[in-house]
Homo-oligomer: A and B are copies of this chain.
Amino acid sequence: MEIRSATILGSGNVAFHLGKALVQNGIRIDAVYGRNQNHADELANQLHAKAYADISLLSSASDIYIICVKDTAIEEVSNQLPKVAGMVVHTSGNTSMEALWKHKRRGVLYPLQTISKNNSVDFKNVPLLLETKLEEDIEALKFLAKAFEAKHYIVDSEQRKIVHLAAVFANNFTNHLYSIAQQILKANNLSFDMLKPLILETAHNIENHLPHEVQTGPAVRGDQSTIDKHLKLLNEMPEYKEIYALLSKGIQSKGGL
């Protein structure tokens, strides 16, 4: 089944980047719904679509209705959306497909990538985690993955929550560690640039190795003297010291491996 037209519900980062990718891949955006008329107008303009601040006015002519609102609002928006013939999906990693219980043709299209205002997103590098209620609808979601030239994985709601949790470790927390490294350097008038090749290499190492196979550093070597020196250097930064101690302990116990 082909997807030729879509309605986007929401006007945040995911709505913006996903909407743009749909348009670029030849899928027409019929409408953008947003509670805030200005935000809806702005995104609709960029997507050559009509803007709606009243959800009851949305037409039922789209092939797919993509709900890109914050997790806590998904069910409410789904319930307010009039009955439609097209498929209704949300884009959340951490919300059950059943939040869309009102719609028979329901599903999930979770883009497993870090999406923020400040960077562009190439959907070729965005694995799409797909779920549907009716088996025949999976072809519709696969059609989108194919249009985006993206990899797709079919996972149920419980599995997707696990993937989302793992993604928090792999992205949110690693980015926070980059931030800590940058803050430590800045506090000492040293350039973050010198760390960038290390950060890139660390990420590229997992392409062909399991992370624990390429673990380096004082903790995995059991070099307690260096760990103690580092903890002392962090005396003035108690938050970072606590993180250092806990993660070093985790590496030494091999993270439960």
- Give A residues with C-beta under 8 Å from B: 70-72, 94, 112-116, 118-119, 125-127, 129, 151, 153, 155, 159, 161-185, 188, 190-192, 194-221, 223, 225-226, 229-230, 233-234, 237, 239-240, 242-244, 246-247, 250-251, 253, 255-257
Contacts and interface: CB of A to CB of B under 8 A. Distances in A.
B181 A170 contact: yes
A166 B181 contact: yes
A181 B194 contact: no
A184 to B, nearest CB: 4
Given A178-B211, A211-B182, A256-B237, A170 B198 contact: yes
A122 to B, nearest CB: 9
Contacts of A229: 94, 161
A181 B169 contact: yes
Contacts of A205: 114, 119, 175
A230 B168 contact: yes
B247 A242 contact: no
Contacts of A188: 159, 162
Contacts of A215: 116, 172, 175-176, 179
A216 B172 CA distance: 6
A196 to B, nearest CB: 6
Contact of A175 (B185, B195, B211, B234): B211
A219 to B, nearest CB: 6
A223 B71 contact: yes
Nearest to A220: B172
B171 A118 contact: no
B183 A255 contact: yes
B203 A113 contact: no
B246 A242 contact: yes
B211 A179 contact: yes
A233 B162 contact: yes
A237 B219 CA distance: 20
Contact of A214 (B116, B200, B251): B116
Q: Which 6 A-B pairs have the closest CB atoms?
A: A172-B217, A203-B203, A179-B211, A178-B211, A166-B181, A170-B181
Given A239-B256, A243-B247, A247-B176, A119 B163 contact: no
A135 to B, nearest CB: 21
Contacts of A209: 118-119
Contacts of A256: 183, 237, 239-240
A40 to B, nearest CB: 21
